[in-house]
Amino acid sequence: MKLAIMGVGAVGRSVVDLAPDYGHVVTAVADSSSAAVDPSGIDVDAVFDRKERGGVVGSGDPEDALDAEYDVLVEATPTTLGDAEPGFSHVRAALERDRHAVLANKGPVAERYGDLMALERESEGTVQFEAAVGGAIPILSTIADFGPSQISAARGVLNGTANFVLSRMAAEGLGYEHVLAEAQDLGVAEADPAFDVDGTDAALKFVILSNVLSQGERVYSLEDATVEGIRDIPASALDLAAEDGRTVRLIGEATADGVRVGPRLVPQHDALAVSGTRNIVQFETVNAGQLHLSGRGAGGPETATAILSDVGRLE
């Protein structure tokens, strides 16, 4: 397949790197200021060399990538809230040309799901977004395989930064600010950590899960979610929990009652009490009990793997 990649952060770059292993050709890449387009496959080294040196990936405008020859548009620009732009317009451009769109960007799927599904219905192209929920973990493909009506609820840990902070606080008896600074040093937390520690990122993922599980009966967005973050959790709360054999995790839920994200007490050795940046999702199934899927929920190659699995499903 021919791929056009929008966004050249860690995820976009990993897709460019791994695409040949899956037999695909990258015909266009774009960041927010420029694009490189070549119908026979871009010169990857030249593109990233230019990006390193001068900050541009190529001589074209970003929109040139949208007009390029491709089968699948990969939307890997940063997640934005509200109108979810420019990601939403990128996906619309692909679907209006009857091309497929694969998203790592959570914005369009969590904030404009109804619009997205309406565009897909009018298009010969298909929308996939496994990479938007839980990185490498095959969460959406498992829902598709089971059938959404066979899964009554999803719960779990889908933000590695918050989980790293909480598990370090519990293991070392350290305070939130101290562990957050450590996480920032390690590159596990952003300079502005609000998106992760306030629960927004996890909430977007559980909004997406609710959209998939409800099969269009109801459309959810971040506004419908009840969200509480982890900034105000004192180290003493983790100590108290530990005395009782429990710990605290930032748990999200997508159930018939809606979307909720917040700190919850869980048994210390519970399946949901994963450590470090690991993610886990627990499905309640109608006929087959609980199912757990866990793995790396973020990272360039991990997320690229989910994108390329989605591309594989479109062949």
Listed residue (158, 162, 157) closest to 188, CA to CA:
162
By the rule CB under 8 A, 18 interacts with a second copy: yes
Q: Which CB sits closer to a second copy, 119 or 266?
A: 266
- Encoded one letter per residue, x for contact with a second copy by CB under 8 A and - for no contact, window 116-145 reads -------------------xxxx--xx--x
| CB of 308 vs a second copy, minimal distance in Å | 8
Which of 43, 226, 271, 315 is the binder for a second copy (CB under 8 A)? Answer: 271
| CB of 245 vs a second copy, minimal distance in Å | 12
By the rule CB under 8 A, 296 interacts with a second copy: yes
Query: Is 64 strand, coil or helix?
Result: helix
Listed residue (70, 74, 46, 69) closest to 59, CA to CA:
46
Question: Does 190 appear as a known binding residue?
Answer: yes
Which of positions 22-51 make contact with a second copy (CB under 8 A)? 22
- The Cβ-side half-sphere exposure at 123, using a 13 Å CA radius, reads 20
Long-range contacts of 174-178 (CB under 8 A, 24+ apart): 174/235, 175/234, 175/235, 176/230, 176/231, 176/233, 176/234, 176/235
By the rule CB under 8 A, 228 interacts with a second copy: no
Question: Does 51 appear as a known binding residue?
Answer: no
CA 172 to chain centre: 29
- The Cβ-side half-sphere exposure at 108, using a 13 Å CA radius, reads 28
By the rule CB under 8 A, 292 interacts with a second copy: yes
- Parallel/antiparallel/unpaired status of strands 225-227 and 151-157: unpaired
| CB of 60 vs a second copy, minimal distance in Å | 29
| CB of 248 vs a second copy, minimal distance in Å | 17
Listed residue (182, 156, 188, 155) closest to 169, CA to CA:
182
The answer to whether residue 51 is catalytic is: no
Question: In this chain, which stretch among 27-35, 36-44, 213-221, 307-315 interacts with a second copy, using CB under 8 A?
Answer: 307-315
By the rule CB under 8 A, 301 interacts with a second copy: yes
Q: How far apart are CA 210 and CA 122, in angstroms?
A: 23
Question: In this chain, which stretch among 1-9, 14-22, 51-59, 184-192 interacts with a second copy, using CB under 8 A?
Answer: 14-22
Q: Which CB sits closer to a second copy, 16 or 35?
A: 16
SS3 content of the chain, % helix, strand, coil (to 5): 45, 20, 35
Question: Does 229 appear as a known binding residue?
Answer: no
Q: Which CB sits closer to a second copy, 84 or 131?
A: 131
Selecting among 205, 260, 264, 296, the annotated active-site residue is: 205
Please give the angle made by the CA atoms of 57, 160 and 193, to the nearest 5 degrees. Answer: 70
Which of 59, 150, 226, 236 is the binder for a second copy (CB under 8 A)? Answer: 150
Task: Compute and round to an integer the Cα radius of gyration of the chain.
Answer: 20
By the rule CB under 8 A, 218 interacts with a second copy: no
The H or E element containing residue 305 is helix 300-313
- Catalytic (active-site) positions: 205
| Residues annotated within a binding site for NADPH | 106
| Residues annotated within a binding site | 7-12, 106, 190
Give the footprint of a second copy on this chain (CB under 8 A): 14, 18, 22, 135-138, 141-142, 145-147, 150, 269, 271, 285, 287-296, 299, 301-302, 304-306, 309, 312-313
